[in-house]
Amino acid sequence: MESFAAFATEITPKVELDKEKGIFLIEGKSLPEDVKVFYSPIIEWFDRYIQEPNPETIITLDFEYFNTASSKMILIILSKIREIQKHGNRVSVMWKYPQYDVELEEAGEEFSELLNIPFTFIPKVSD
């Protein structure tokens, strides 16, 4: 399966998805002008990955900020992770957030409760 990568910009996150290396990462700011255009290839990649997932999938979500439209796309991606879990594979989400950003921390908690998949919350200390 081919890997997928996108470089971070001022309004879009870095994305690295590599089944062979076991890397599933989205990090940075997410406020693209058209969330569907940005996130569709990522969602399509996960649709293919679900067909033959690794025995364990650990996705790292490390956002500085995301807008409401992006949160809907993040929910879709996390729903794909839940689907992998339903088929008996181990999954977990590493939710990284700026240490004092209560909104981002709570957003992760809401995703975790909504989808009932294991999350590890990692506050990042500012430089």
* Structural domain boundaries in the chain: 4-124
Here the tokens at position 5 are 């990568």
Mean predicted confidence (pLDDT) in 99-112: 95
CATH architecture of the domain 4-124 equals 2-Layer Sandwich (3.30)
CB within 8 Å of 127: residues ≥ 6 apart: none
Mean predicted confidence (pLDDT) in 78-90: 96
Average pLDDT taken over every residue of the chain: 96
Phi then psi dihedrals of residue 19, to 5 deg: -60, -45
Here the tokens at position 115 are 């989808």
C-alpha span between 124 and 28 (Å, rounded): 13
In this predicted structure, what is the pLDDT of residue 127?
63
Give the helix ranges, DSSP H, for the chain: 35-51, 68-86, 102-115
In this predicted structure, what is the pLDDT of residue 126?
74
In this predicted structure, what is the pLDDT of residue 46?
98
